[in-house]
Structure 1
Amino acid sequence: MSNNDWPKRLYALDVSRGIAALAVVLWHWQHFAYKGNSLSQDFLRENQPLYDILRLFYEKGGMGVQYFFLLSGFIFFWLYSVSIKNKKTSAWEFGIQRFSRLYPLHFVALLVVTLLQLFYVSRENISFVYPFNDIYHFFLNLGFASKWGFESGWSFNAPIWSVSIEVLLYFVFFITVLFRQGGWFFCLFVSVLSFVLQRVIDHAILGGLALFFLGGVVFHLTFLISDKYKALNPPIYFITIIITIIFWFCVMIDFYVFKLSNSILEAGMLGKIFLSGFPPYLLFPFTVCSLALIEIDRGSFLKQISWIGDITYSSYLLHFPLQLLFGLAVSFGILNFNFYLSSMYLTIYFMVLIPLSYITYIKFERPMQRIIRNKALPQKKA
């Protein structure tokens, strides 16, 4: 399989990943309604600022993590599968690339959260949102193992849990393609098997595997469509995009006009199963496939705002430490406890987070990647 005709970078997918990260940040806005480690019983989601506009993110923003897993599968099968199969990318090189990309900011964010939580606990006698901030969980976080099944619960910079699972997925992916597996049927088999097993064994790695390898299936299908669609009548390329548009149109109608999902729920258990599986197994795969196809066919159309994708990791890792600072401001009486209900403070929060994330990406993430890769992979260009 060759995708040499594809662009070197699919900016549309990068931007979608950045939007997914910001969706998780908005989903976590509810953290400010916590009293200690639990959500206030007085909390009403619809009272959050600009709810009528941001309803989708306040209600379902957490699903951005599922989008991460699926998109990661697509990207890794696209960028790495052939080079690993052909032994052009070694385990050492692959590991260093991942380590240099993920670990430096994770390490710094972990230390910052540790110090801020200690300060917060000294004032409030309880931690902010996430309760298990002891030595044991610190070392779990230090080793990227915060969601491997050894933990007692959420700890430190807890959103890193998805990256903790990603680390395991990278290992499984590398072994898979090293032994020359990873075709569309294999990916589909692993995805379905993981999905079924997760119904029996509730572990985050199984959910991650199901979506990561589904991303592999989407990559294979996207490659097939991009290579063959012109010969089809009617073109499956256009059908894919039209279905994606219809799916998103239905989502917008459901959240902002009237509840289409209520009629589906009337189907009982089958309706609930469909609604729970619709975003990760239909909406997200079609979205990734369509964005990739459009850019492959039409050229880069979101390059000007690709910085949104660049700040994905930094915004995802920095948003909870920033929330801790706001929590300390409440503790000191600088902010009222109900400040989070104001759209002004929501705006201020993002006006701090987004520039901070971009500066972190430019001044810390990229330089650290170059330094580590130059040291560990001197024969390779960083």
Structure 2
Amino acid sequence: MTRVAFYAPMKPPGDPTPSGDREMARNLIAAIGARGAEVIVVSDLKLHEKSGDPARQADLQQAAKAEIARLSNTLAGTDIALWVTYHNYYKAPDLIGPATCAALGLPYVQIESTRAKKRLTGPWAGFAAAAEAACDAASVIFYLTANDLITLGRHRVPGQRLVHLPPFLPTDTLPEPSWGGGPMLTAGMMRAGDKLASYTILAEALAHLPGDWRLEIAGDGPARGQVEALMAPFGDRVRFLGQLDRDALARAYQRASLFVWPGVNEAFGMVYLEAQAAGLAVVAQDRPGVRDVLLPGAYPRPEDGPEALAAQIAALLSDPVLRKSRGAQARAMIARAHLRPAATERFWSAVAPLVKDPA
């Protein structure tokens, strides 16, 4: 059995707080292990420093040195064949993997890393330099979106391979399709920043939406009061579902007529994959990351304003045949490229040359 060391410096897979980053780490572990490999989370040291505090970064550097010493000792002589780091970037650099792999002679790869040379000065300068060095150390970097590839390709070191790993759902099969005419659905955490910006754009679009429409919103968070205030003008046409578990969210997809979420600064957005897997047509803005997981089409640009978003929603609401056609095409795309078997195949095909007995 091939054994793989796995490390996520931004948020450990076992962290109790739900997030897209934690979900993606868990999905990756499942995909890597789908052929029988044993994936071991070798460290829970969280290196995410989001405030630009040099003293805190120095403390984390010291903690990382202790962790390198521990792992170099405990993993020595074991049959670990490969080290995988998920999500290395300037606020959460992999301070552990490259040094540990150098000490043990392990091949080192990364998944979803970003380069940010402009951060080499300023409050994250040391962390940014460490993130760049970790990128340089990787034999293979798997990128999830075309936007990430831009800087990865620009600064790639000789001999390093950059491999596309499309975002994927943690399943081998699709759910039953949704061809119903229920309410529209949106799903997103309710917090200040980009999520609240998406809710604001959505509310502005709804104000331009004609006809008798309904919307369900799945999600919760500290900005719920602000989201409720944004939606208050629409009365009972908007229904808040709260935070849903996986089964309840699946039922929400099943009864929906279409899925809408503007996608401000989404890395890619798992909800888009889930909605399309259920056969829903999606309305979103044409943004980096988001466009990597959407069925190709003419999505409104952010600069086109909420009126353009409303126009696309209205066109789909008024045409059930078009909705079903778009949903069926999106569902086929997910089946082809965005389920776990495709991710497993892409991963092991790329790392096989690095591992003696690949899974």
Give the TM-score normalised by the residue count of structure 1: 0.26
- Indicate the structure with greater helix content: 1
Could you say which structure has the greater relative contact order, defined with CA pairs below 8 angstroms and 6 or more residues apart?
Answer: 1
